[in-house]
């Protein structure tokens, strides 16, 4: 069965466990950067690990949701107060230095907008313990994927923690938490015999967990669950028996794709344990019965998550070559906003690494200060500069806090100072220490045909991607020349498809793949062109081993060289071109070499392309702008949320095996992969919005082009109900998901005006079938506390319609046999009279001998038997046994002759048929037609590329000419300004003209890009339909030939008879 694995994965994830010291609380001193006031507090964590909370001397309680915590730092990594007076006030401990007692808790809604909670412990050991515990709680994968019941408990915990100094719960907090419908809240409170005025207070002892559940049931009634409960056997009695509950779990909730030996259905005793866990009535539980209340608790419990916890765990094979993995990758990591303006940030490297990214980018430039310190910035833009050394320190600090697997540093090195390059190399060696991989591993030398090491081999290692100087070789000048040719190839803009953005003076540059002019290559930063990288010095070159960037020439050349340690980068447009022209070759290339895709230069707003496009081709490092949380980034976060959030995902087997070939544009079944059928029914929603508005749900599927369906389904909008809307609509069915391992389902909820509420992205291969809650997340993939959907999902192996009856018979053979027997009895009345007539006419001996075989019922070939079929007989017997008016029995000699002829005729094998001249001739003709079709497509594509290049050059030349004219005018004006008598005006006009020219140029390039991309896609589509039509015509010809042969055979047989 699909989904079966070599063995059952032993779950390594540990549930949340809060230590006693965190529950009891510890004294700290809290301080802020912008104030000299320090506040003594008692810091605690609730027993479930939901919140970090503290009370000050006035007994006021403040909360910090641990799901918002990104990091916890102590000692030298924590923030230190700059004000000497503040330092003096904080230095209150008597055990350990102040620096070692500092704690900084980093939290925020996303990677850019972060805040700090600064604390000082009284002892060093206390600071270390709290730092480790808080980070462990905040990064616990099970805590990030809690059950529906846990989220409701979290809301209850929040209410219980936010109490007055007297220990009472303010009702205003309840109204604030459930703000969608004030009237409903009032009614639910009154049903629980609680006060309902907004200004009232509730004693904690009156608001028990049981009262809270009653309150929720009255606030958000669930008739749809009552219906499910009744339909599954509780119509006449208010409970399900243990057998009924077992059937429900095994038939509705179990994944049919699982191997029944490795993952057996639940037995009675296992179901009894679940009943005892969830049934609140102990008397019923002991009898093996579960009420509707217990049933609801089971559905929202930890055993019934929509994704099994083993998928969250590190469960993929990490011992394969690096090229066999998708690697979570970042583009221009240092930026916090757009590509042309905004702040660069050292903190972004920490945040990106903590989020699970394993490949970060460093754009290095020569520092202009007296200290000659290299910097990181986006060249020739208005983005700020940050210290290269500080970035290296930040990477070293957070490299392996989230994942132990290797970090890849993608250097874009514009430092043309040998001295500063030497500094860069020195910083890497000193700060990274043993973590920096300086030499290739002994088992994996840098030789042709040798694969890259695995993530397991490279655990806790940092690898550098930078231009490399020519290799020293003692094996002859020829080899040395080849090495120099490949290693020294460099430039920066990726191709003619992605020219430099004129406003910035730079397209996103990559040293490894470009087609810019030679004069651009020789430009330096000071000359105003960021389109070239500096030559690598010996020091930087020595840091490079397994990731050596080279200019991409062709898939054929790369295959011949067979060097896994060489890799190339492609701007997204160049990547799309290669994917469109040579999809199969691109997949093959990615089996043995790394490829990196990065956004085109015109994405100045830091938007992202859809990473799925390049995952489909097996590209490993699909780099995105992490600061922009758009749909593309959301899909990326959904992809790398699994496999222990390690930043590595193993590619599907056919993208790794050399004997398999895969076309990402395929529409048929992939060899060795079982397609899935997925059905999703949106049943209801709970607490979807904090406003009284209508809501609706949209469902998308992303994967291969054939699997992708944007906005495949949309529910009706609920009428002003965001608390418990119910949708009685037909499910959305994805009949055939060709590649489930690369497909993901997105379910998103919106307010009636189109405002986004929340969503969830789920891998098709990991989705559990059955009735489940989908706890929603915001656009930054952070869990929302209350909003959830209740759905019914069916997932099974895809079966073509032709074989549906066969599968039905195999899956339920008893039902099938009973059905066949029933049909046989129904037909008996019609066939009895004919059988009696046959018996009368036939010889008594024959009748007795043939009766048993004629009465035997056998299923038809496709698994369905609509009529009683007889055992096949030789043609002579078949002809003889059919009565006809006035017919006489055929002579025995004739029967014997026909029988002997038929028995001598042997069926030809498929291989023999393929050797026939007519078949071979037809096959050659078809092959030539298809080959010509592909050639014409390639010619059209080449012509289109040439046309685009010409238009780009025309636009560029026109831009340079007009800019030169404006600059010339500006120089004349500046000379006039230097004269005392000359009035000071006109400079602002020139600047405006230059800005307008840049904007005009940028827009022209954007238009040109969009037009070219659309034309290429149109060409691909035209080619696809042409090939499809041609294949259909070929099939018709083959069918006609086969039919002619069949007619000829029948004619010869009839003539002979």
Q: Would you name the residues annotated as active-site residues?
A: 331, 378
Alpha-carbon distance of 1001 to 957, in angstroms, equals: 11
Q: How large is the C-alpha radius of gyration of the chain?
A: 36
Q: What separation in angstroms does the CA of 255 have from each of 236, 764, 803?
A: 29, 12, 21
Provide the token pair at 520. 């651009």
Provide the token pair at 583. 């999809």
Q: What are phi and psi of 347, to 5 degrees?
A: -60, -30
Are residues 505 and 523 in contact, defined by beta-carbon separation less than 8 angstroms? no
The CA dihedral of 906, 910, 916, 922, to the nearest 10 degrees, is 140
In the 8-state DSSP scheme, what is residue 100?
G
Alpha-carbon distance of 696 to 714, in angstroms, equals: 7
Are residues 430 and 543 in contact, defined by beta-carbon separation less than 8 angstroms? no
Are residues 313 and 11 in contact, defined by beta-carbon separation less than 8 angstroms? yes
Q: Where are the alpha helices (DSSP H) in 73-181?
A: 84-90, 124-138, 141-144, 148-161, 171-177
Q: What are phi and psi of 422, to 5 degrees?
A: -65, -40
- Each as own residue / partner, the long-range contacts of residues 928-931 (CB below 8 Å, 24 or more positions apart, any chain) are 929/1030, 929/1034, 930/1027, 930/1030, 930/1031
Residues annotated in the binding site for Ca(2+), as ranges? 332, 361, 363, 412
- Residue given tokens 């087609």 in the structure block: 515
Q: Checking phi first, is residue 575 left (phi over 0); if not, alpha (psi -120 to 50) or beta?
A: alpha
- Each as own residue / partner, the long-range contacts of residues 193-196 (CB below 8 Å, 24 or more positions apart, any chain) are 195/171, 196/171
Alpha-carbon distance of 30 to 571, in angstroms, equals: 47
Q: What are phi and psi of 705, to 5 degrees?
A: -50, -40
Q: Which residues contact 534 (CB under 8 A, 6 or more apart)?
A: 413, 414, 415, 416, 421, 524
Instruction: Count CA within 13 A, CB hemisphere, residue 985.
Output: 2
Q: Which residues of 723-740 are buried (b: 16+ CB within 10 A; e: fewer)?
A: bbbbbeeebbebebbbbb
Q: Where are the alpha helices (DSSP H) in 593-673?
A: 612-615, 631-639
Are residues 395 and 349 in contact, defined by beta-carbon separation less than 8 angstroms? yes
Provide the token pair at 216. 């929720």
Q: In sequence order, what DSSP letters do the residues of 839-889 get, joined into one string?
A: HHHS-HHHHHHHHHHHH-----TTS--SS-PPPP--HHHHHHHS--TT--P
Q: Where are the alpha helices (DSSP H) in 59-140?
A: 84-90, 124-138
Are residues 789 and 776 in contact, defined by beta-carbon separation less than 8 angstroms? yes
Alpha-carbon distance of 333 to 883, in angstroms, equals: 86
Q: Helix, strand, coil shares of the chain as percentages rounded to 5?
A: 45, 15, 40
Q: Which residues of 71-92 are buried (b: 16+ CB within 10 A; e: fewer)?
A: bbbbbebbeebeeeebeebbee
Q: What separation in angstroms does the CA of 815 have from each of 194, 819, 822?
A: 55, 6, 11
Instruction: Count CA within 13 A, CB hemisphere, residue 885.
Output: 0
């Amino acid at each position: 069965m699909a989904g079966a694995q070599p063995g059952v994965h032993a779950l390594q994830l540990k549930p949340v466990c809060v230590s006693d010291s965190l529950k009891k609380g510890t004294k700290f001193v809290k301080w802020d950067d912008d104030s000299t006031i320090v506040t003594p507090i008692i810091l605690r964590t609730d027993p479930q690990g939901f919140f970090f909370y503290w009370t000050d001397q006035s007994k006021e309680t403040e909360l910090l949701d641990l799901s918002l915590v990104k990091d916890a730092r102590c000692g030298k990594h924590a923030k230190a107060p700059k004000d000497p007076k503040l330092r003096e006030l904080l230095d209150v401990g008597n055990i350990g230095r102040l620096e070692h007692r500092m704690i900084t808790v980093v939290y925020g809604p996303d990677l850019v907008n972060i805040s700090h909670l600064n604390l000082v412990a009284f002892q060093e050991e206390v600071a270390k313990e709290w730092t480790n515990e808080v980070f462990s709680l905040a990064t616990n994968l099970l805590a990030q994927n809690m059950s529906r019941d846990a989220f409701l408990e979290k809301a209850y915990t929040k209410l219980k923690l936010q109490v007055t100094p007297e220990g009472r719960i303010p009702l205003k907090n309840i109204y604030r938490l459930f703000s969608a419908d004030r009237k409903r809240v009032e009614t639910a409170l009154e049903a629980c015999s609680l006060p309902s005025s907004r200004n009232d207070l509730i004693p904690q002892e009156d608001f028990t967990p049981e009262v809270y559940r009653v309150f929720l049931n009255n606030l958000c009634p669930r008739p749809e669950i009552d219906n499910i409960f009744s339909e599954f056997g509780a119509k006449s009695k208010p409970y399900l028996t243990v057998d009924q509950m077992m059937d429900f779990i095994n038939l509705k909730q179990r994944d049919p794709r699982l191997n029944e030996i490795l993952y057996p259905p639940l037995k009675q005793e296992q179901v009894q344990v679940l009943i005892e866990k969830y049934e609140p009535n102990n008397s019923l539980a002991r009898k093996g019965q579960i009420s509707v209340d217990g049933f609801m608790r089971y559905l929202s419990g930890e055993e019934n998550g929509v994704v099994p916890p083993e998928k969250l765990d590190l469960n993929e094979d990490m011992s394969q070559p690096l090229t066999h993995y998708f690697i979570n990758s970042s583009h221009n990591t240092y930026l916090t906003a757009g590509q042309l303006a905004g702040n660069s940030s050292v903190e972004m490297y920490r945040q990106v690494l903590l989020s699970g990214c394993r490949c970060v980018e460093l754009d290095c430039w020569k520092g202009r200060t007296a200290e000659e310190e290299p910097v990181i910035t986006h060249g020739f833009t208005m983005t700020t500069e940050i210290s290269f050394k500080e970035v290296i320190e930040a990477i070293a600090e957070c490299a392996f806090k989230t994942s132990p697997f290797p970090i890849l540093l993608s250097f874009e090195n514009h430092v043309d100072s040998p001295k500063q390059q030497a500094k860069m190399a020195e910083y890497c060696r000193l700060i990274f220490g043993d973590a920096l991989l300086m030499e290739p591993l002994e088992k994996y030398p840098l030789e042709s045909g040798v694969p890259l090491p695995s993530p397991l081999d490279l655990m806790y290692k940092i690898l550098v991607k930078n231009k490399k100087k020519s290799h020293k070789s003692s094996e002859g000048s020829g080899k040395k020349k080849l090495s120099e040719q490949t290693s020294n190839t460099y430039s920066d803009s990726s191709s003619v498809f992605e020219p430099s953005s004129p406003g910035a003076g730079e397209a996103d540059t990559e040293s490894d793949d470009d087609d810019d002019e030679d004069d651009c290559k020789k430009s330096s930063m000071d000359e105003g062109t960021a389109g070239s990288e500096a030559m690598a010095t010996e020091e930087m070159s020595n840091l490079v081993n397994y990731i050596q960037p080279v200019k991409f020439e062709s898939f054929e050349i790369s295959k011949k060289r067979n060097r896994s340690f060489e890799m190339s980068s492609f701007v997204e447009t160049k990547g799309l071109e290669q994917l469109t022209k040579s999809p199969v070759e691109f997949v093959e290339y990615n089996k043995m070499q790394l490829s990196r895709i990065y956004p085109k230069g015109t994405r100045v707003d830091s938007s992202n392309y859809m990473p799925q496009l390049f995952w489909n081709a097996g590209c490993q490092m699909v780099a995105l702008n992490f600061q922009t949380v758009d749909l593309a980034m959301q899909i990326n976060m959904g992809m790398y949320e699994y496999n222990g959030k390690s930043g590595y995902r193993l590619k599907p087997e056919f993208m790794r095996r050399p004997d398999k070939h895969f076309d990402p544009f395929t529409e048929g079944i992939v060899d060795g992969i079982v397609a899935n059928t997925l059905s999703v029914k949106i049943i209801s929603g709970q607490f979807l919005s904090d406003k009284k508005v209508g809501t609706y749900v949209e469902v998308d599927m992303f994967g291969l082009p054939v699997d992708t369906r944007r906005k495949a389904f949309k529910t009706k909008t609920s009428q002003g109900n965001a608390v418990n809307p119910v949708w009685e609509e037909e499910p959305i069915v994805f009949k055939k998901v060709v590649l489930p391992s690369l497909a993901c389902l997105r379910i998103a909820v919106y307010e009636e005006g189109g405002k986004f509420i929340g969503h969830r992205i789920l891998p098709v291969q990991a989705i559990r079938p059955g009735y489940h809650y989908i706890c929603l997340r915001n656009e930054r993939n952070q869990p929302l506390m209350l909003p959830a959907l209740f759905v019914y999902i069916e997932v099974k192996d895809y079966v073509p319609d032709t074989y549906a009856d066969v599968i039905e018979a195999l899956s339920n053979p008893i039902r099938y046999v009973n059905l066949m027997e029933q049909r046989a009895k129904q037909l008996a009345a019609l066939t009895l009279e004919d059988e009696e007539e046959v018996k009368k006419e036939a010889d008594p001996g024959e009748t007795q001998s043939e009766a048993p075989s004629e009465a035997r019922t056998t299923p038809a070939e496709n698994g369905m038997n609509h009529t009683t079929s007889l055992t096949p007989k030789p043609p002579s017997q078949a002809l003889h046994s059919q009565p006809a008016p006035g017919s006489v029995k055929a002579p025995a000699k004739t029967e014997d002759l026909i029988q002997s002829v038929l028995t001598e005729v042997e069926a030809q094998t498929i291989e023999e048929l393929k050797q026939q001249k007519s078949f071979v001739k037809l096959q050659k003709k078809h092959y030539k037609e298809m080959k010509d079709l592909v050639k014409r497509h390639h010619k059209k594509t080449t012509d289109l590329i040439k046309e685009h290049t010409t238009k780009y050059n025309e636009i560029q030349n026109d831009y340079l000419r007009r800019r030169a004219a404006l600059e010339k005018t500006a120089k004349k004006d500046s000379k006039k300004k230097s004269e005392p008598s000359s009035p000071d005006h006109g400079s602002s006009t020139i600047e405006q003209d230059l800005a307008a020219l840049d904007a005009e140029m940028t827009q022209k390039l954007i238009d040109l890009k969009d037009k070219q991309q659309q034309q290429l896609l149109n060409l691909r589509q035209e080619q696809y339909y042409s090939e499809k039509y041609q294949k259909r015509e070929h099939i018709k010809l083959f069918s006609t030939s086969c039919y002619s042969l069949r007619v000829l055979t029948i004619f010869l047989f009839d003539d002979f008879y």
